[in-house]
Structure 1
Amino acid sequence: MIAALGRIKRAVREAIGACGGVDGAGMTAGRSRSVAGDWNNLNHSAFPPLDCALALDEVAVTRGDGTPILSALAAELGHALYKLPDVQAVTSDLSTALIDACAEFGDISDAIRAGLSDGKVCATDSTRITKQIDEAIQSLVRLRVVVNILPSGE
Structure 2
Amino acid sequence: MTPSLARIKRGVREAIHSCGGVDGAGATAGRKRSVAGDWNNLNHDAFPPIDCAIALDEVCIAQGKKASILSALSAELGHVCIRLPDVGHGEDGLSLALIDASAEFGDIAAEVREATRDGVIESHERNAIVRQIDETIEALARLRAVANGGK
Contact (CA 8 Å) 2:29, 2:56: kept in 1 or not?
Answer: yes
Of 26-35 and 123-132, more deviation after overlay is shown by 123-132
Q: Percent identity?
A: 52
**Aligned residue number for residue 57 of structure 1:** 57
Q: State the distance in 1 between where 2:37 and 2:135 align.
A: 36
Deviations 1:10-60 (A, max 9, x none): 211111111111111111001111111111122221110001001111112
Q: Is residue 18 of structure 2 the alignment partner of residue 18 of structure 1? A: yes
The one-letter code sitting in structure 1 at the alignment partner of 2:15 is A
The one-letter code sitting in structure 1 at the alignment partner of 2:30 is G
Q: How many residues align?
A: 150
Deviations 1:83-137 (A, max 9, x none): 21223144x458736853784587479659967x979585698788667645643
**Aligned residue number for residue 96 of structure 1:** 95
Q: Alpha carbons of 1:16 and 1:148: their partners in 2 closer, same or farther (altered >3 Å)?
A: same
**Aligned residue number for residue 81 of structure 1:** 81
Q: Alpha carbons of 1:102 and 1:27: their partners in 2 closer, same or farther (altered >3 Å)?
A: closer
The one-letter code sitting in structure 1 at the alignment partner of 2:57 is D
Q: How does 1:111-122 map to 2 (within 5 A)?
A: 111=110, 120=119
Q: Which has the larger radius of gyration?
A: 1
Q: State the distance in 2 between where 1:105 and 1:39 align.
A: 33
Structure 1 residues without counterparts, runs of 5 or longer: none
**Aligned residue number for residue 149 of structure 1:** 149
Contact (CA 8 Å) 1:111, 1:128: kept in 2 or not?
Answer: no
TM-score (norm 1): 0.71
Q: Alpha carbons of 1:29 and 1:73: their partners in 2 closer, same or farther (altered >3 Å)?
A: same
**Aligned residue number for residue 33 of structure 1:** 33
The SS at the match of 1:149 is coil
Contact (CA 8 Å) 1:11, 1:68: kept in 2 or not?
Answer: yes
The SS at the match of 2:75 is helix
Q: State the distance in 1 between where 2:3 and 2:112 align.
A: 35
The one-letter code sitting in structure 1 at the alignment partner of 2:47 is F
